[in-house]
Amino acid sequence: MKLIENLQWRYATKKFDATKKVSQEELENIKEAIRLSASSYGLQLYKVLVIEDPDIRKSLREASWGQPQITDASHLFVFCNYASVQEADVDAYLELKADTQGLDIKNLQGYGDFMKDKLVSMSPEVQKNWTVRQTYIALGNLLAACAELQIDSCPMEGFDPVQYDEILGLKEKGLTTAVVASIGYRSEEDQTQDLPKVRKATNVLFESV
List the CATH number of the domain containing 49: 3.40.109.10
pLDDT at 8 over 90: yes
In a domain, 32, yes or no: yes
- 178-202 average pLDDT score: 96
What local confidence, expressed as pLDDT, does residue 1 receive?
Answer: 78
In the chain, the number of structural domains is: 1
Q: Are the CB atoms for 3 and 148 separated by under 8 Å? A: yes
β partners of residue 78: 49, 180
Indicate the pairing of strand 152-156 with strand 75-82. unpaired
In a domain, 8, yes or no: yes
pLDDT at 160 over 90: yes
In a domain, 112, yes or no: no
75 three-class SS = strand
Kindly state the percentage of the chain with pLDDT values over 70: 100
In a domain, 93, yes or no: no
In a domain, 117, yes or no: no
pLDDT at 28 over 90: yes
pLDDT at 49 over 90: yes
In a domain, 140, yes or no: yes
- 17-33 average pLDDT score: 98
In a domain, 29, yes or no: yes
Q: What's the rounded Cα separation, in Å, for the pair 139 and 144?
A: 9
Print the domain residue range for 191.
2-85+122-205
In a domain, 172, yes or no: yes
DSSP assignment string, 100-160? HHT--GGGGHHHHHHHHHHHTTS-HHHHHHHHHHHHHHHHHHHHHHHHHTT-EEEEE--S-
